[in-house]
């Protein structure tokens, strides 16, 4: 497919004639656009893979109908990924970024394609057939976030990437306010989630007093990890939309809270891997994190409860929007069931 030919992509989303001109201005190899392929993902952001001038690229931009924060999310993603380049952190490598929204109508960036699989979508025979490989997958994911949280974000030029002051203090009121906002969705009966206030109160009472700021991925469940086809290693953490500077132990809590347990609704988020299980125990995850971090792990239960609280409220947003016809009812019901599981889990851990 050449630049002069029509592409099977809405020009309102990506105009390849314009992208080609921009790439030329960046000094990237020219030529025809070939093998343009949409890539699926865990978000509504658009990703297109293509070849040009002997190079392979993935273009990432916000959804066709941009949300208020879409362009800012893409700009932040490209910034943190560029900062992580050369650190050894397993993340996509940015080739070039275009923060200027006027070029194609949205901010975008180009990154190198990732050779690996997402366990939400597939589980190769090697991984499906060996529980030890799956256990090592979980440990590799823990190592990835531990190494991320150990970086000096200021030395990487990310001092202003987030607002760590008061980060933990803000969490409960911030997410209760978010939950309250869902009532604006017509038909939503309000949050019918047993234990919301109880969990919030417990979090406020037991909040850790001392912690060290660092880089937080923010949504590091196993479906946001790409793994090697040849072994259990994480090759890249993806979907950095919720990344910030905060308390990196929330990433560990997030992985524990989303640990797939066969037979639960939440396990379905990780596809076949969630159904067959074999991931490490919570105790193994905590011990493994400690091999790559000198952070105090005595309050991991608190961070795991906070992860249940925060993620549960995030998922409830889709359930609320489904009442107003802004999301599929089936998806909303599925995510609401996971929210109930998360809050039940949080309350068991509190005890």
Instruction: Tell me how far apart the alpha carbons of residues 257 and 240 are, in angstroms, rounded to a whole number.
Output: 18
Instruction: Tell me how far apart the alpha carbons of residues 224 and 245 are, in angstroms, rounded to a whole number.
Output: 19
**List of the chain residues with pLDDT < 50:** 1-7, 42-43
Instruction: Tell me how far apart the alpha carbons of residues 6 and 21 are, in angstroms, rounded to a whole number.
Output: 16
Quote the pLDDT of residue 66: 85
Q: Are 143 and 288 contacting, i.e. CB atoms less than 8 angstroms apart?
A: yes
Residue listed under structure tokens 């011990």: 287
Instruction: Tell me how far apart the alpha carbons of residues 273 and 335 are, in angstroms, rounded to a whole number.
Output: 18
Q: Which two tokens stand for residue 311?
A: 């993620």
Residue listed under structure tokens 């992580």: 84
Instruction: Tell me how far apart the alpha carbons of residues 264 and 322 are, in angstroms, rounded to a whole number.
Output: 22
pLDDT digits (tens, 9 = 90+) for 232-270: 999 999 999 999 999 999 999 999 999 999 999 999 989
| Residues in CB range of 219: below 8 A, 6 or more apart | 239, 241, 242, 254
Quote the pLDDT of residue 8: 59
The SS3 assignment for 38 reads strand
Q: Chain-centre distance of CA 239, in angstroms?
A: 4
Backbone φ, ψ for residue 288 (5° rounding): -70, -40
Terminal Cα distance for the chain, rounded = 60
Is the backbone of residue 278 left (phi > 0), alpha (psi -120 to 50) or beta?
Answer: left
Instruction: Tell me how far apart the alpha carbons of residues 122 and 213 are, in angstroms, rounded to a whole number.
Output: 35
């Amino acid at each position: 497919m050449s630049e002069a030919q029509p592409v099977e992509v809405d020009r309102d989303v990506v105009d390849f004639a314009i992208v080609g001109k921009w790439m030329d201005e960046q000094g990237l190899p020219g030529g025809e656009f070939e093998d343009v392929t949409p890539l699926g993902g865990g978000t509504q952001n658009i990703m297109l893979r293509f070849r040009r001038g002997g190079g392979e690229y993935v273009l990432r931009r916000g959804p066709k109908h941009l949300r208020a924060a879409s362009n800012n999310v893409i700009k932040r993603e490209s910034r943190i990924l560029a900062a992580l380049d050369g650190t050894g952190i397993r993340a996509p490598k940015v080739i070039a970024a275009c923060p200027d929204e006027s070029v194609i109508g949205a901010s975008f960036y180009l990154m190198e394609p990732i050779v690996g699989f997402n366990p939400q979508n597939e589980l190769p025979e090697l991984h499906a057939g060996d529980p030890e490989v799956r256990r090592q997958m979980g440990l590799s994911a823990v190592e990835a976030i531990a190494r991320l949280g150990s970086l000096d974000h200021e030395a990487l030029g990310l001092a202003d990437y987030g607002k760590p002051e008061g980060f933990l203090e803000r969490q409960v009121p911030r997410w209760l306010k978010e939950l309250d906002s869902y009532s604006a969705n017509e038909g939503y009966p309000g949050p019918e989630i047993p234990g919301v206030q109880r969990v919030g109160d417990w979090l406020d009472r037991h909040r850790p007093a001392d912690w060290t700021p660092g880089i937080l991925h923010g949504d590091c469940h196993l479906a946001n990890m790409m793994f090697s086809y040849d072994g259990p290693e994480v090759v890249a953490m993806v979907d950095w939309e919720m990344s910030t500077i905060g308390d990196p132990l929330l990433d560990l809590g997030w992985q524990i809270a989303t640990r797939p347990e066969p037979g639960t609704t939440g396990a379905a988020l990780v596809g076949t891997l969630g159904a067959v299980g074999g991931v490490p125990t919570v105790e193994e995850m905590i011990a493994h994190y400690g091999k790559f971090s000198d952070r105090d792990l005595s309050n991991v239960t608190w961070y795991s409860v906070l992860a249940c609280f925060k993620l549960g409220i995030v998922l409830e947003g889709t359930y609320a929007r489904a009442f107003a016809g802004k999301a599929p009812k089936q998806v909303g019901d599925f995510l609401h069931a996971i929210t109930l599981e998360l809050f039940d889990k949080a309350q068991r851990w509190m005890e």
